[in-house]
Each structure stands twice: as C-alpha cells, then as structure tokens.
Amino acid sequence: MGISDLFRKTDINQEVKNFQNSQNAVLLDVRTKSEYKEGHIPGSTNIPLDEIQNVEDIVKDHDAEILVYCLRGSRSISAVKKLKTFGYKRARSIGGIASYKGLTVLD
C-alpha cells in the first residue's frame, strides 16, 4: 500500500460489481433494520452495527471477504474495525449506499 492508496476513495458501484462476480464474498449492510427495509443492495445481508457481535451466526468463515456498507460510510468503517477484532481479516468498508447508482430492493 502506497501513500496514494490512503487517499483513494472506494467506489461502492465498482465494489458491488466485484461482489456480484465473486462466489464467496459477503455484502454486509450495517444500517438499521428499518433503513434496510426501505431499500438495500440485492444480495446484501443486514446486520445492524449495534448487533455486529452476531456476525458469527451468519458468516462462519473468518477468511471470507466481507464488503461492508451503510448510508454514507461511517458506520461501515466502525463495523470493519469490530469485525477485525472478531478475526475477520478480509473485511473492508466500501462506503455508503447514498453513492450507489444501481438497483435497490425493498424488504
């Protein structure tokens, strides 16, 4: 990782495309249950940030790639920090759904 990588903004749209082409990645939405029901990215799983300790019930593989998003990116960054303390080494924030230009679905 170079110094320029520190300032590169993650593109949620490209990351969702990468997720769609991946067989084992997990797309994790850490917004509240009501936010999730109002619209989320297809294929995502909802575990609100305040319930992130329950992740092991859903994501058993600690080596899985976990792409985390929220509304604007702050909660996803917090979630990734917590996920790493739980041993999920490949968790990373992909930003917020507010920047997402693709299809969303309602629950």
26-49 pLDDT per residue, tens: 999 999 999 999 999 999 999 999
Tell me the C-alpha distance between 11 and 95, whole Å: 7
Q: What are phi and psi of 62, to 5 degrees?
A: -70, -10
Assigned superfamily of 10-99: Rhodanese-like domain (3.40.250.10)
Dist. CA 73–CA 99, nearest whole Å: 10
Contact 78, 87 (CB under 8 A): no
Condensed to tens digits (0 to 9), the pLDDT of residues 57-83 reads: 999 999 999 999 999 999 999 999 999
What pTM does this model have?
Answer: 0.91
